[in-house]
Amino acid sequence: MARPTALRTARRLGVGALAACLMTALPAPTARANDPAQATDPAYAQAAGLKIVGNETQPAFSRADAVFQQVNVETATDSDGDGRRDTVRMRILRPKETDTGLKVATIIEASPYWAGGNDVPNHEVDLDEDGLPADRLSSGERRPPGLVGPAVPFSGYTDNYFLPRGYAVAQVDSVGTGGSTGCPTSGGRNETLGAKAVVDWLNGRARGWDLEGRPVGAAWSTGNAAIMGISYNGTLPTAVATTGVEGLKAIVPISGISSWYDYYRANGGVVAPGGYQGEDTDVLAKYVYSRTDREICKPVLDRLTADQDRTSGDWSRFWAERDYVKDVRKIRAGVFAVHGGNDWNVKTQHFGQLWEALKKYDVPRKLWLHQAGHTNPMPLRMEEWLRQLHQWFDYWLYDLDNGALDAPRVDVEQSDFSWRQQSEWPARGTRDVTLRLNEDGLAPLPGRPVKQSLTDEGRTVTAERLVADPDTAKANRLAYTTGPLTRDLRVNGVPEVSVRASLDGTSPYVTALLVDYGTDTRATAGTVADTSKLICYGEGIPEDTGCTYRTVHRTETADFKIVSRGWLDARNRNSIARQDKVVEGREYRLDWAMQPQDYVFKRGHRLGVVLISTDYDYTLRYPAGTRMTVRAGVSTVTLPVGRPLSPLHLTRAPGSRPGRGTASEY
């Protein structure tokens, strides 16, 4: 196992509760062997049973008359140790014509959430001086039941929209959940192979049985499949694709995890997904453990608790098994990735490092970046989402020469909620701009190498309170700002921090926050339904109308916004795989990355970097009082600045006070 270095740099661009996906997974497409010209010929379309007009599948099949089928598919693992291979339960809807010779591609959504979840306590995050839980009892936090996937089959929109166009849609219970056997392991190899098995079954390479135990095959399947989903359901598509399984032609990972280490850890530290402080792999696995036998997996769950290691946060074989980025070179499917800039559950590092790896290995790809959080993009931009998704599936699953790879690869939503397209991300022409954390603010040139200190209060005070009012001296943070920007500044990519600092006390954490200072109305993570008009996007049935409301962004007006944040356990300054002792008072060079972002700091606003130790909502919380001393003048932040903006030109403000700010010309 390769041992990673302490800093996953910006060039690599590198997930806890995961919300249940509201979409169905897409089936993997077959090999692109059909002649596109033949595929668009009316005679060919009639013979195939599909209606194709203008290189696009058209509604020709009845959702109301669809065939419903359930299959238990055999996997390659025995994760519960009962001497039999695990099976996964697959529920399928397909056009009735598939019973009389029609062969179709399949859109799959694999999920651990279909059968609901359990009430599970999170780990204690308040520690004593020795790094042990201050209270051995649970903090009482729970995963809200509202995150459970709907119990009714085929919620979402893929059945209404895609089945009439000649696709089968399927839901799969991940191992250890619902009708499946085996054990949930929060991203373990058995979960990957469980979802992979259904692609193998669609291609005749795996065994399946109906619920009465009779063998059943997929004679109706072309073998082409796609997998899609959001959150955990958006993680499994990437996991399966990295096996290189034949027949998986497209994936759509939406807010999906690309490495589980980066979901529950960060640079050697135990760091929670946003909103789920104290959750870890064992908590999530216990939450989704919904199979009928509730005892057989207890030894597996106990091993998760031991192997995840909440004491050190070090990289290990446990996390290497759950890292999909290292296997991106094996992907044979077209990847349509989606993420929200305000997603602090599955943080933006997950799309960033996946995207960089896809570029490295020249995997066919698309990317949507929107302004919301951990959410479904479909109702935000309904018609365009369905158009592009439809084009993606038609291209990969039915070999239609529709130009899916000809358009710009990246769609980015702006702060005013308009969209722009660009050929890459970060945008071409983006360059690094390094600013010094000087005693009088942020500037391109170094200042005096003076020492500045803060006293950690993050155990009881949130980061949002600590960053407020940057011009007021506060003992519990160090704030560095530019002066008012004279033009818009676009940061797109991974901000990186390099500080010279020492620690005296019990907390090993150092946290950097990138802040936009300026009163403005900005998008938050949330969305709200616009109930003024119901939009019908597909064919409905009485229980599912095929209609929904659009959603719009939830906004708030505030004096500042934390744009990005990053964490480092100083003991892991040299490697995330091992700790090195921190000697109190000794100054170290500490380098780490923040979360990737695409964000515009507006003209007249100030850009700020705030340093703290404990981050209340994310890191473990040691007793307050650790003193962190930073050497200003030599510490830096490096920002990926996009065109067409000119380089920063900052001038020091006369009479500015230490750590309070500078004026700028930009």
pLDDT in tens, 70-89: 999 999 999 999 999 999 99
Q: Is the pLDDT of residue 1 over 50?
A: no
Torsion over CA: 235, 233, 68, 55 (sign): negative
pLDDT tens for each residue of 166-196 = 999 999 999 999 999 999 999 999 999 999 9
pLDDT at residue 133 in the model:
74
What domains sit in the chain, N to C, each tagged with a CATH number? 36-422 (3.40.50.1820), 431-523+559-665 (2.60.120.260)
607-614 mean pLDDT: 98
- Report yes or no: 2 and 346 within 8 Å, Cβ to Cβ: no
* Residue closest to 93 by CA, chosen among 157, 154, 149: 154
Averaged confidence pLDDT in the chain: 89
368-389 per-residue burial string, b: 16 or more CB within 10 A, e: under 16: bbbbbbbbbbbbbbbeebbebb
pTM value? 0.89
Residue whose C-alpha is closest to residue 348's, from 463, 226, 262: 262
Local structure of 421: helix, strand or coil: strand
With a cut of 50, say whether residue 206 has pLDDT above it.
yes
User: Taking 90 as the threshold, does the pLDDT of residue 480 lie above it?
Assistant: yes
Q: In this model, does residue 124 exceed pLDDT 80?
A: yes
Find how far residue 583's CA is from the centre of its chain: 36
pLDDT at 659 over 60: no
Q: Residue range 4-8: average pLDDT?
A: 37
Structural element, H or E, at residue 568: strand 547-569
The whole-number pLDDT of residue 134 equals 62
* Higher-scoring residue by pLDDT: 20, 42: 42
**Pair of tokens at residue 18:** 């995961």
* Residues 636/501, Cβ–Cβ less than 8 Å: no
118 burial level (CB within 10 Å; 0-12, 13-18, 19+): middle
Show contacts of 134-137: CB within 8 Å, 24+ apart.
Answer: 134/623
Confidence of residue 136 (pLDDT cuts 50, 70, 90): very low
Q: Is 52 helix (H, G, I), strand (E, B) or coil?
A: strand
Asked if pLDDT for residue 378 goes beyond 80, the answer is yes
33 has pLDDT over 90: no
Residue 556 has pLDDT above 70, yes or no: yes
- SS3 track for 159-198: HHHHHHHCEEEEEEECCCCCCCCCCCCCCCHHHHHHHHHH
Cis peptide upstream of residue 112 (ω within 30 degrees of 0): no
**In this predicted model, what pLDDT tens digit does every residue of 240-290 receive, in sequence order?**
999 999 999 999 999 999 999 999 999 999 999 999 999 999 999 999 999
> Percent of the chain, pLDDT > 90?
84
Is the pLDDT assigned to residue 16 strictly greater than 70? Answer: no
Looking at the DSSP bridge assignments, the partners of residue 57 are: 52
- Write the DSSP symbol of residue 427: P
SS3 70: strand
The confidence band for 214, taking pLDDT boundaries of 50, 70 and 90, is: very high
Mean per-residue pLDDT, 102-124: 97
Catalytic residue positions, numbered: 231, 343, 374
Higher pLDDT, 46 or 154: 154
pLDDT of residue 94: 96
Residue 39 is predicted with a pLDDT of 40
- Give the model's pLDDT for residue 34: 36
Q: Does the structure show a pLDDT above 60 at 7? A: no
CA 160 – CA 544 distance, rounded (Å): 8
Q: Considering the chain, what percentage of its residues have pLDDT values greater than 70?
A: 86
Check residue 128 and give its pLDDT: 81
